[in-house]
Amino acid sequence: MESMVSFITGPTLASSSSSFLEARTLRTLFSGGRGTSIVQKNIVIVSRKLSGLEEAMRIRRSRELQSSGKATKRPPLRRGKVSGPLPVPEHILRPPYVGTKLLPEISSEHQIHDEEGIDRMKAAGELAARVLDFAGTLVRPSVTTDEIDKAVHKMIVDAGAYPSPLGYGGFPKSVCTSVNECMCHGIPDSRQLQDGDIINIDVTVYLNGYHGDTSKTFLCGNVDEPTKRLVKVTEECLHRAISICKDGVSFKKIGKKISELAERHGFSVVERFVGHGVGKVFHSEPIILHHRNDNPGYMVEGETFTIEPILTMGSIECITWGDNWTTVTADGSLAAQFEHTILITQKGAEILTKY
């Protein structure tokens, strides 16, 4: 999840126009947890003023997207019936937050692992990736997100792991399923997937005391070309960001890399939800901002964290439903997200959740 935080990803941050330079104090919430109730800290983010050429290129690309076809108009997402949480065998190790509806504090410690810890992180990441790959095979018209949740839950517990979202701050299900305009933290329910939908499935497993966290946006049936482009570019943004990660690199380069590619294609980068450290603790420092920022901090060999950008076709403003989790774009525009857990090395970054 986002800093759920990934798994789950926080309160709405005001967005700024790409053509203006401004600084403002933002409250960073993790995509991962219950609306505005997870506040990491106050930070000042200065958005970079685009040059005249860059602004002209952005406008031209936006017009090209409009002329190449419009995304199919869909009815607004509506919540279906949510079934109760599924049972987990007693012998399976549970994260410390299970049994309380309080959102855990975001740990201020970076999670840097020894050899044994790295091995356990790899095992958790590999399982999360396999579960996500399996979940993707279930995506087709008429399938409900509740059915996906049940199948994912069974695969995780059959592997001797715990589905990390279940019980995190009161989250009622074992996976997040975010359809169409839902940015993140969608709760599985009775709604059937429709031909042309897109759905992000966010899987986190807790195996032998370590969390592995990953997500992917899948196409359901016949998806129009503009929507396919959104999904493709979002995944490219994730991999471009991972490509620059290694020991000693500044965290702020992640947001710069993602923003450059997204803007080139006329898409917007959501600021409200962030990546996060992950390991023994579900959500910790470092906080990974996916938009341009000037936050301090450098990557360290042996640490693990998630990168999980969300791109939209329109506004980055969002609305959180009354369930305190489901967060949708304010203008109803489509959103896509991809996520990996990575391990920092001297020479680069190893993807622990490669699917």
Domains with residue ranges and CATH for the chain: 115-351 (3.90.230.10)
Amino acid 9: pLDDT: 42
Task: Report, as an integer, the average pLDDT of 204-211.
Answer: 98
Amino acid 31: pLDDT: 47
Binding residues for substrate are 185, 283
For residues 113 and 117, give the distance between their C-alpha atoms in angstroms, rounded to a whole number.
Answer: 5
Alpha-helical segments (H) within the chain: 52-67, 115-137, 145-158, 225-243, 252-264
For residues 34 and 238, give the distance between their C-alpha atoms in angstroms, rounded to a whole number.
Answer: 24
pLDDT tens for 153-198 read 999 999 999 999 999 999 999 999 999 999 999 999 999 999 999 9
Task: Report, as an integer, the average pLDDT of 227-244.
Answer: 98
* Confidence band, pLDDT 50/70/90 cuts, at residue 68: low
For residues 163 and 93, give the distance between their C-alpha atoms in angstroms, rounded to a whole number.
Answer: 10
Binding residues for a divalent metal cation are 202, 213, 276, 308, 339
Query: The pTM is what?
Result: 0.83
Asked if residue 271 has pLDDT above 90, the reply is yes
Asked if residue 133 has pLDDT above 50, the reply is yes
Binding residues are 185, 202, 213, 276, 283, 308, 339
Mean per-residue pLDDT of the chain: 87
